[in-house]
Chains A and B, each alone.
Chain A
Amino acid sequence: MIVSLNEADVMAAKAARGAGRPWGLAQEAGRAASALEALRLPGAACLLDVLNATDGVPCEELRPGSTQTACWQAEIPMCPLLVGAFISDLGALSQKVMLRQVRSPLLLVPFCLMAFDNVVFNWSDCTIRTSGDGISAQGDPKTAIADQVSIDGSAPARETTHSWQRGAVDIADEIWEALSAFAHRTYVPASEASRLKGAGAGLTDND
């Protein structure tokens, strides 16, 4: 499915909401997924992995138990949206972070790009560094669960592997449909009364 970045953003936000993320965080999920898509990285697919794996799990189980320790962790793999939002909120205060057990760590990247100028991520066999007009990624950035993620300040990478691109992106049909199914949970079914009242019409407009 070829979609505009705006459609990807809106769909991702609705899907996150449908999977139980609070409103404000769901908006951030939309922006994070579409920002990755703008870098031509699999933002929608990563978000779907996270939502599938954490559907119905309350937020308090998906965030670090304590952030006072050197390494943040929860009892089950953490949600990159919750952790990413926290890092972004803290800005420069959180520029050196170790995380244990994070789902789809690629989704941390847009949050950190919002918070710091130059940053390097390491997980599994993947290294991602900010560069002049995008990022430089080595290894496979799409990991279901990373055992350990480190985030640190860094000099910008010399070369860019993924630059910011505007315009439509191609999202696999099955991913789009699965996100749509989550989004669908946010819609209210119509009744005859709501059809008439909800939009406020009902008068003839055929004149």
Chain B
Amino acid sequence: MVDATPVLPAETRVAELMRPPQEVMRLARMGASHQTRLSFMRAILRRIKREGWQVERTIWDVDEKGVGVGVYEARGPENTYSLIAYANDLPPEKRSDRVIATEWDASFALFDGVPTKADIDRLRNNVPKQEAGRCAASELVLSRANKSVRLFDHVVDCLAQGKQPDVAEIDKVGYLMRTTAVYGNGKFGLADRDLYARREEAGGPFRVELLAVWLIRAFTVDIVEHMARVRGGADAVPLDREIRRRLGVGNSTGLGMAPFLVTHPALLNAWITARETALARVRALPAASADTIACFREQLDRAHAGLERWRTPDERQSLRVCELAGDFDKLKGHLEQGVLTAPDPWNELYLWATANLTLEGQEAVCSLMIEPHGDLVDDLASEMAADESRTFAIDGRMKLGELSALAARHFDWALATDFDAADQMARFWYVSEEKLEPRLGERHEEDGAELEQRLGIGREVAMMMAALDGESENTLLAEFLLRHPEHRHAARRVQLSARLPYAEIHDNVLSASMMPIDMLRCKLAFFGASRFDPKSDRWVRITMYADAPFPDEIAGMDADDWSWPLTDDARPLER
């Protein structure tokens, strides 16, 4: 599919073609992000395939009501990771995706190594309680999931009767269970990331969390087949593999995830830098080979056809999906004019897209352009981790004049914002006493703004600049900050921006018009999620790993050909 020996573009040309942060880091564009081949789920499955991991369900002790435990061992070349899944028989009235829930249909821990019976018993008293339980450093991930009752029951019914479920029903929902939180990095007693960050397979961002989700996907099918056997006995059949593959793991993501992008500036910079470098490398190619063009066109067709399965009742997103279909039509028309066989094909295509397509369309084209160029860009997937502590120190030897100049250069958008205007200050981020989770309040209507989380970096910088008024340009920053420790946060972020161009969102996250789902979508696209289905301006449902190989088939399949799956026309299903 790709050239055997890609011509590496000159670094200077690549640097010239990097999109500036002023363009990339706007929330509207971040909110139109699509998965790319650098997305974490894809990088994980490529590795699992390349290294020949073995996944085995070693324990399945589940009763007739669907209560019990399953263990899945994933054995890599160096380490084994085990998903311990506790299945529950949850009364319908207790089923909620919100973080305020206290019981779930299933709960999970990703165990570092192979758990003993004592581990499984210890965790049985803790994992189903989630936030109210405690884990230990032997556990890397804690998660839970609820059924899509409608689809789960339909699939159990069909399989119990010896039939396959209706593909239309499968596609309407897309998953049997959806996770409502996937915790890692030391939360609730889990292992600190430092403990495993040096392992090659676990050092990249969210590698262990998303490995857990891939194994959870296998569990969701096992539990549905188990319930069908309980009900149907000898009549029951397993789920057809082609139908099975259409299922992902659903996920409900709410506000809890949004502050992450603000509180991890070095990590955000690493993610965006990798994706933008990939795009710039492709744009810098002087010509496109016939194979590359064919691959691009095939993926475009698949992406276009796949929009059928991107269904959302959300008006705004639904309109955007329609517009994206229109964009794909336009793009196909444009390709007929031979842009890809002319010089600088990818850059020309990119420039055409920015002038003619919606943000959804532009970002989709970026992802599609990167797709045929694995040889050129896949190395970047291993450069997406970042240690925030390396860029945390403030250089207090800097003079205030220089700091002001840096702020003026990198936070021009913030310094042009009127933070005295009611709508620019409409929101405040806080942590709720009830669930210790991030929330968004209305500053002019609700109490608690004095306890806000300082996530409005633009406003922080604007406040610091106001305080710098009247200070001598030659004063050392350290001396200023000793007198004004309230500006340490802003000073740190200004210095960070000078070193890490994509560290900051270039929009006011306190404004009345800010949409938290834009932040969620950006992060989830880096995970590799698709079919974003917003449920409000602040939470979104997605599917993960839909159409990807299952553990028992990855060895015999292409591990990385699922993001834009083959259409039904091209892959007839037995119905």
Contact = CB atoms under 8 A, between A and B. Distances in A.
Interface of A: 2-7, 21-25, 27-28, 31, 59-60, 63-64, 67, 82, 85-86, 88-91, 93, 114-115, 166-168, 184-191, 193-195, 197-203, 205-207
A28 B149 contact: no
B255 interface: yes
A197 B216 CA distance: 30
Given A59-B485, A187-B433, A190-B432, A201 B536 contact: yes
B437 A6 contact: no
A186 B451 contact: yes
Contact of A199 (B255, B433, B476, B492): B255
A195 B434 contact: yes
Q: Which of A2, A21, A114, A186 has the most CB of B within 10 A?
A: A186
Interface in B56-105: 92, 95-100
Given A24-B485, A24-B488, A60-B483, A201 B539 contact: yes
Interface stretch (B3-11, B392-400, B404-412, B546-554): B392-400
A197 B186 CA distance: 29
A206 B95 contact: yes
User: Chain B: interface residue count, which band?
Assistant: 35 or more
A6 B478 contact: no
B255 A198 contact: yes
Interface in B548-566: none
A167 to B, nearest CB: 5
B97 A201 contact: yes
A199 B254 contact: yes
Contacts of A25: 485, 488
A190 B187 CA distance: 23
B451 A188 contact: yes
Contacts of B451: 185-188
Given A2-B134, A4-B137, A201-B535, 10 more contacts: A4-B186, A25-B488, A85-B481, A91-B396, A188-B448, A199-B255, A200-B440, A201-B98, A205-B252, A206-B95
Given A4-B186, A24-B485, A188-B430, A200 B137 contact: no
B200 interface: no
A207 B538 CA distance: 19
B515 to A, nearest CB: 11
Contacts of B191: 4, 167
B396 A90 contact: yes
A187 B482 contact: no
29 contacts: A2-B134, A24-B486, A25-B488, A31-B389, A31-B392, A67-B482, A86-B482, A89-B395, A89-B396, A89-B397, A89-B478, A91-B397, A114-B393, A115-B393, A167-B191, A168-B192, A186-B451, A187-B451, A188-B431, A188-B447, A190-B434, A195-B100, A198-B439, A198-B440, A199-B539, A200-B516, A200-B538, A200-B539, A201-B98
B393 A88 contact: yes
